[in-house]
Amino acid sequence: MSSQRIIVLGSGASLSSKDRDNTSLAFDTPSGILLIDCASNPYRQLLLAGLDPNRLFAVFLTHQHPDHVYGFPSLVHHFIMARRSSTLAVYANFPTLRVAASLLNAFGLRAEFLRFFKIPEEKNYTLLESEDFSLITAPVRHVVPTIALRINSKLNSSSFVYSSDTGPCPELVALAKEADILVHECSVSRPSQGHTTPAQAAQLAESCGVKKLILLHFWPTMDMEKVYEEASQHFKGEIILAHDFMEVEL
């Protein structure tokens, strides 16, 4: 494989539905798979997406809320059962690392293949550099400490940003500037602390000059036609409403 792609493993908010699992993403690149947030049964979600879980080299946890971390002990347990030996890196801010470790302890899980790395609360922090991509992080404004990320491809000079859960904020504007794809949460119909409306996400995308806006993290009662209509009033580029197992080429 010489290309890179994003696979949406789940597109729902903290309250999932029969059509949408809790939000998580897989970044598939020639060097392996990066799992972004860890909901549901991540091992099975990867299999359902046609991905080999053994190619997973890292997990990025954006924050400590249950819908973003509760699948982590399940993932580790699956790898223990599969006799994984290769290193699995786990990246998160300190509060989220503490929750992740507590979940493993609660189940009595011990895995020598795990390596934990703290993400600093710094703007535009270069967390990873590889032959295929660079990964940059920034804190965003949710109700608990939360990290957004930007991946710049070295294969085709494209880029995507994932907002995680956040309200509009200057930190995200700086991170998403001129990105090819902005994957942005869209949890609420009215302005609310720590979350974003369709109009707010679209306005942010327009101000950043991104080419494509992908909305996800939908609350089950949201009307998708109204979401698209509202967003399209504020963003001139392509708008996509994410669905589970959707694939996007970088």
Give the pLDDT confidence of 53-86 residue by residue, as tens digits: 999 999 999 999 999 999 999 999 999 999 999 9
Whether 44 and 21 have beta carbons less than 8 Å apart is answered as no
What SS3 state is found at 159?
Answer: strand
Using alpha carbons, list the distances in angstroms from residue 90 to 87, 96, 114, 118, 203: 10, 10, 7, 8, 33
Could you tell me the CATH number of the domain that includes residue 174? 3.60.15.10
| Model confidence at 2: pLDDT above 90 | no
DSSP code string of 92-137: E-HHHHHHHHHHHHHTT---TTEEEEEPPS-TTEEEEE-SSEEEEE
Model pLDDT for residues 92-115, shown as the tens digit of each residue: 999 999 999 999 999 999 999 999
Any domain includes 250: no
Measure the CA–CA gap between 102 and 135, rounded to whole angstroms. Answer: 26
pLDDT at 1 over 90: no
**Could you tell me which of 214, 219, 221 has the C-alpha nearest to residue 237?**
214
User: Residue 145 in contact with residue 63, Cβ under 8 Å?
Assistant: yes
Q: What pTM does this model have?
A: 0.96
> Please, what's the b/e burial string for 172-199 (b: 16 or more CB within 10 A of its CB; e: otherwise)?
beebbeebbbbbbbbbbbeeeebbbbbb
Domain range holding 50? 5-242
Mean pLDDT of 157-185: 97
Q: What's the domain count of the chain? A: 1
Look at residue 46 and tell me if it is in a domain: yes
pLDDT band at 3 (very low <50, low <70, confident <90, very high): confident
User: Do 46 and 55 touch, CB atoms closer than 8 A?
Assistant: no
Question: Does residue 48 fall inside a structural domain?
Answer: yes
248 inside domain:
no
Look at residue 249 and tell me if it is in a domain: no
Q: Cα separation of 183 and 217, whole Å?
A: 10
Q: Which are the contacts of 187, defined by CB distance < 8 A and separation ≥ 6?
A: 13, 165, 195, 196, 217, 218, 219
pLDDT digits (tens, 9 = 90+) for 7-55: 999 999 999 999 999 999 999 999 999 999 999 999 999 999 999 999 9
Residue 197 lies in a domain: yes
pLDDT in tens, 127-144: 999 999 999 999 999 999
